[in-house]
C-alpha cells in the first residue's frame, strides 16, 4: 500500500483509538475539532484546490445547521430526515450562490460571497419567530437519537464526529487524486490554459462550489445534532474567517491541512485562555508569525521541504 | 408624522453617516488602489482613533474644544505611525502577497482589539463635543392662504453634526488636491499605475507603501475622531465601518477615489434614510442583496471603468 494511504488511514485509526485514552473534556474538544475540520475541508476544496477564495462560507455551515435544526424543531423530523434537510438546504444554497457568484472573479468573488452570507444572517434574524434570532434555540435531547444511539453521550458524540470526519477525509482524498481533482488544480494554477485544453471551467467550478457547500453544510447539520444548539452567531462573519484561517494554517491544497490547522487553532485558544485572559493576543501574534515564517501553512511548508508525496 | 420634515432629518442623519464613511472608505480605497492589498484591520484603526481621541481629551482636561482639537490632529497621527510601523515590520516582509496580507491583518485585528481591551477596558465611553447647539429644523406650511415658516416640535439636529459634514468635505477636497496637484500625489499615482516602472524611475516604493498604509489608517482614525462625540468609543466598534467601507470601495470601483466618495454618500445616505422609515433588518437585507447583485452584474463597480 502506498504511504499516502497509510498516512491517512493511520490518522483515522489513531483518532478512533484516541477516544479510549482521552479524558472526557478532551474527548468533547476533539469531537468539536473533527466536525469543524470537516467544515474546513469543504472550504479547502474551493480555496486550496480550485483557487476560489470565499469569505462567506458561514452561510453553508448555517444552512446545514438551520436546515437540520428547524426540521427537528418545527416539523418534528427524525435525525436522518433532519440531516437530509440540512444537506439539501446547503446544496441548494450552494447551487444558487454558485450560479450568481461565479460570474465574478478575485476580490469581487470574495465580496459577493461575503454579502450573500450577510444576507442569510439577516434573514435568520428577520424570521426571529421561528429561528429565535441571535439567541438561537436548543434541540431537545430526546430528538437527538440516531438508531437507538443517544448522540448527547460523549462517547457516541465522538464516534459520530469520527464517522463523518473519516468519510469526508477519504472522499476528498479520492476526489483530489481523481481526474476531476487534477482539473481543479489546473484551474487554480492557470484558468486560461485549462480552458484551452478543452475543459468546461464554468461547470467544474460550479460542481466544486456545490460539493464544498454541501460538505460545509454537513458539518453544520452534524454540529447541531451533536451539540444540540442552533444559533445565528454561526452565520456571522467570524465563522467565514475561521475556515480560511484553519486552512491557511494547516496548508491550502493538502488533504490533512484543514484538520491540522483546526487542531492547532483550537488547542492554541484552549491553552492560552487557560494561561491568560489575552487569548486574542496569542492568536493574533501566532497568525502574524505564521504568515511571516510559514507562508504555505504547516503541511505546505513540509511538502516544499521534500515530503513531495503529500497531496 | 409629517413626511417632509422627517425626510430632512433622515437626510441630515444620513449625511453625517456618509461623511464619516467617506473618510474611512477613502483610507481603505487608497491602500487597495496603491498597494493592491485588502487591509482587514482597517476597522481596528478606526476604533483605535476613537479610543485615542477619548484618551487625549481625558489626559488634557481643560475646555472641551481644546482637547478635541488636539485629538483631531494627534489621534490620526499616532494611528498612522502605528500602521506604518506594522507595514514596515510585517507586510513589507511578506512582499504584499494578497492572501498572506489578509491573514496577517486578521492577526493585527486580534492584537489591536486585545491590547485595547486590556488597557482601555470593555466600557463604551463618550467624548464631549467641542460645541453642541441644538438647531431646530424649519419647515413650511400652507396656512391662512400663504406660506408660513414653522419649527415642527421635537425635530432638531446639532451644530456639531453640521460641523462633521463640513469637516469631511474639507478633508476630502484636501486629499483630492494632494493626489492631483502635488509631487507626492504624482508619486502615489505612479506607484498605483505600475510599481515596478515607478521603482525604475527612482521612486522608493517600499517607503511609499508604508506611507500609504499610514495615511489610509489615519483617514479611518480621522473619521472616528469626528464620530466619537456622537457615537461612543468601544473596543468592538470597528466591525461595521470595516464592512461598510468594503462595500463602498467595491461599489465605487477598485482604486477610483471619486467612485469611492460617490458610493459612500449613496450608501451612507440610503442607510440613514432607510433605517428611519423602514424595519432596519429588512432594509439591510435588501441593501446587502442589492450590493451583491451590483457586483455580480457590474463587477467593475458602479463608477469603475472596465479594465482591458
Domain region containing A65: 25-241
Flag whether A17 is in a domain: no
Flag whether A282 is in a domain: no
Q: Kindly indicate the confidence band of residue B305, based on its pLDDT and cuts at 50, 70 and 90.
A: low
**pLDDT score, position A87:** 93
Flag whether B302 is in a domain: no
**A281/B115 CB distance under 8 A:** yes
**pLDDT score, position B170:** 93
Flag whether B308 is in a domain: no
HEC profile of B108-175: HHHHHHHHHHHHCCCCCECCCCCCCCEEECCEEEEECCEEEEECCCCCEEEHHHHHHHHHHHHHHHHH
**pLDDT score, position B59:** 87
When CB atoms are compared, the residue of B99, B117, B246 closest to A111 is B246
CATH (domain of A29): 1.10.3470.10
Flag whether B303 is in a domain: no
A248 chain-B contacts, CB cut-off 8 A:
99, 103
State mean pLDDT over A229-249: 86
Comparing CA positions, the residue from B20, B22, B9 lying closest to residue B53 is: B20
Query: How far away is chain A from the Cα of B278, in angstroms, using its nearest Cα?
Result: 13
CATH (domain of B17): 1.10.3470
Phi, psi of B95 (to 5 degrees): 65, 25
Do residues B161 and B12 touch, judged by C-beta distance below 8 A? yes
Query: How far away is chain B from the Cα of A289, in angstroms, using its nearest Cα?
Result: 8
Nearest CA in chain A to B118: A278
**pLDDT score, position B308:** 37
**Can you tell me which residue has the cell 428577520?**
A126
Mean pLDDT for chain B? 84
**A237/B243 CB distance under 8 A:** yes
Comparing CA positions, the residue from B300, B270, B299, B298 lying closest to residue B286 is: B270
Q: Kindly indicate the confidence band of residue B212, based on its pLDDT and cuts at 50, 70 and 90.
A: very high
Flag whether A19 is in a domain: no
Flag whether A281 is in a domain: no
In tens, the pLDDT along B237-266 reads: 888 888 888 888 877 876 678 888 888 888
Query: How far away is chain B from the Cα of A213, in angstroms, using its nearest Cα?
Result: 18
Do residues B172 and B21 touch, judged by C-beta distance below 8 A? no
Q: Kindly indicate the confidence band of residue B5, based on its pLDDT and cuts at 50, 70 and 90.
A: confident
C-alpha B108/C-alpha A133 separation (Å) is 30
Flag whether B160 is in a domain: yes
State mean pLDDT over B189-194: 87
Flag whether B79 is in a domain: yes
Flag whether B272 is in a domain: yes
C-alpha A222/C-alpha A138 separation (Å) is 14
Flag whether B307 is in a domain: no
DSSP B125: B
Plot region of A53 (φ>0 → left; ψ -120 to 50 → alpha; else → beta): beta
In tens, the pLDDT along A260-301 reads: 989 988 888 888 777 767 777 877 888 888 888 887 878 887
State mean pLDDT over B176-201: 89
Q: How many structural domains does chain B have?
A: 1
Q: How many structural domains does chain A have?
A: 1
When CB atoms are compared, the residue of A108, A118, A126 closest to B299 is A108
**pLDDT score, position A208:** 94
Mean pLDDT for chain A? 86
In tens, the pLDDT along B128-171 reads: 888 877 777 776 666 666 666 666 666 677 888 889 999 999 99
Flag whether B30 is in a domain: yes
Domain region containing B173: 3-297
Is the pLDDT at B66 greater than 80? The verdict is yes
Amino acid at each position: 500500500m502506498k504511504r499516502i494511504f497509510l498516512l491517512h488511514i493511520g490518522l483515522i485509526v489513531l483518532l478512533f483509538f484516541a477516544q479510549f485514552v482521552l479524558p472526557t473534556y478532551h474527548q468533547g474538544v476533539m469531537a468539536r475539532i473533527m466536525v469543524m475540520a470537516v467544515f474546513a475541508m469543504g472550504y479547502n476544496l474551493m480555496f486550496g484546490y480550485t483557487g476560489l477564495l470565499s469569505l462567506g462560507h458561514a452561510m453553508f455551515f448555517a444552512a446545514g445547521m438551520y436546515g437540520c435544526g428547524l426540521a427537528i424543531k418545527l416539523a418534528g423530523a427524525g435525525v436522518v430526515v433532519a440531516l437530509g434537510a440540512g444537506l439539501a438546504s446547503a446544496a441548494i444554497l450552494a447551487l444558487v450562490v454558485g450560479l450568481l457568484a461565479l460570474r465574478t472573479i478575485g476580490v469581487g468573488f470574495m465580496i459577493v460571497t461575503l454579502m450573500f452570507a450577510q444576507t442569510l444572517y439577516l434573514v435568520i434574524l428577520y424570521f426571529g419567530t421561528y429561528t429565535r434570532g441571535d439567541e438561537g434555540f436548543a434541540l431537545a435531547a430526546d430528538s437527538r437519537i440516531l438508531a437507538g444511539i443517544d448522540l448527547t453521550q460523549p462517547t457516541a458524540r465522538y464516534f459520530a464526529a469520527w464517522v463523518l470526519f473519516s468519510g469526508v477525509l477519504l472522499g476528498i482524498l479520492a476526489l483530489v487524486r481523481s481526474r476531476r481533482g487534477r482539473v481543479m488544480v489546473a484551474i487554480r494554477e492557470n484558468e486560461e490554459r485549462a480552458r484551452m485544453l478543452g475543459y468546461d471551467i464554468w461547470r467544474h467550478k460550479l460542481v466544486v462550489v456545490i460539493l464544498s457547500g454541501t460538505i460545509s453544510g454537513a458539518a453544520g447539520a452534524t454540529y447541531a445534532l451533536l451539540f444540540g444548539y442552533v444559533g445565528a452567531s454561526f452565520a456571522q462573519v467570524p465563522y467565514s474567517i475561521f475556515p480560511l484561517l484553519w486552512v491557511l494554517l494547516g496548508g491550502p491544497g493538502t488533504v490533512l491541512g484543514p484538520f491540522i490547522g483546526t487542531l492547532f487553532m483550537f488547542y492554541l485558544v484552549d491553552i492560552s485562555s487557560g494561561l491568560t485572559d489575552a487569548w486574542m493576543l496569542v492568536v493574533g501574534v501566532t497568525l502574524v508569525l505564521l504568515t511571516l515564517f510559514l507562508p504555505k501553512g504547516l503541511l505546505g511548508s513540509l511538502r516544499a521541504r521534500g515530503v513531495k508525496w503529500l497531496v | 408624522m409629517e413626511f417632509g420634515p422627517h425626510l430632512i432629518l433622515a437626510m441630515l442623519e444620513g449625511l453625517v453617516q456618509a461623511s464619516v464613511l467617506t473618510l474611512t472608505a477613502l483610507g481603505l480605497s487608497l491602500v487597495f488602489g496603491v498597494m493592491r492589498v485588502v487591509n482587514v484591520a482597517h476597522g481596528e484603526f478606526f476604533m483605535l482613533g476613537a479610543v485615542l481621541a477619548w484618551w487625549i481629551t481625558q489626559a488634557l482636561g481643560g475646555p472641551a474644544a481644546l482637547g478635541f482639537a488636539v485629538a483631531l490632529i494627534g489621534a490620526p497621527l499616532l494611528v498612522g505611525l502605528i500602521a506604518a510601523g506594522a507595514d514596515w515590520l510585517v507586510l513589507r516582509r511578506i512582499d504584499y502577497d494578497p492572501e498572506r496580507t489578509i491573514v496577517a491583518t486578521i492577526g493585527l485585528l486580534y492584537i489591536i482589539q486585545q491590547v485595547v481591551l486590556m488597557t482601555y477596558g470593555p466600557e463604551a465611553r463618550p467624548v464631549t463635543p467641542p460645541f453642541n447647539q441644538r438647531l431646530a429644523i424649519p419647515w413650511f406650511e400652507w396656512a391662512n392662504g400663504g406660506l408660513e415658516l414653522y419649527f415642527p416640535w421635537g425635530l432638531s439636529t446639532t451644530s456639531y453634526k453640521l460641523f462633521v459634514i463640513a469637516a469631511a468635505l474639507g478633508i476630502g477636497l484636501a486629499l483630492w488636491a494632494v493626489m492631483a496637484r502635488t509631487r507626492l500625489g504624482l508619486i502615489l499615482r505612479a506607484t498605483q499605475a505600475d510599481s515596478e516602472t515607478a521603482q525604475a524611475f527612482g521612486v522608493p516604493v517600499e517607503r511609499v507603501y508604508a506611507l500609504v498604509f499610514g495615511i489610509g489608517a489615519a483617514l479611518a482614525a480621522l473619521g472616528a475622531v469626528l464620530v466619537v462625540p456622537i457615537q461612543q468609543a468601544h473596543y468592538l466598534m470597528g466591525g461595521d465601518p470595516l464592512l461598510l467601507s468594503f462595500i463602498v470601495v467595491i461599489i465605487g470601483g477598485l482604486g477610483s477615489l471619486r467612485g469611492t466618495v460617490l458610493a459612500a454618500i449613496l450608501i451612507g445616505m440610503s442607510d440613514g434614510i432607510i433605517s428611519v422609515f423602514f424595519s432596519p433588518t429588512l432594509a439591510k437585507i435588501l441593501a446587502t442583496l442589492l450590493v451583491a447583485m451590483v457586483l455580480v452584474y457590474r463587477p467593475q463597480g458602479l463608477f469603475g471603468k472596465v479594465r482591458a
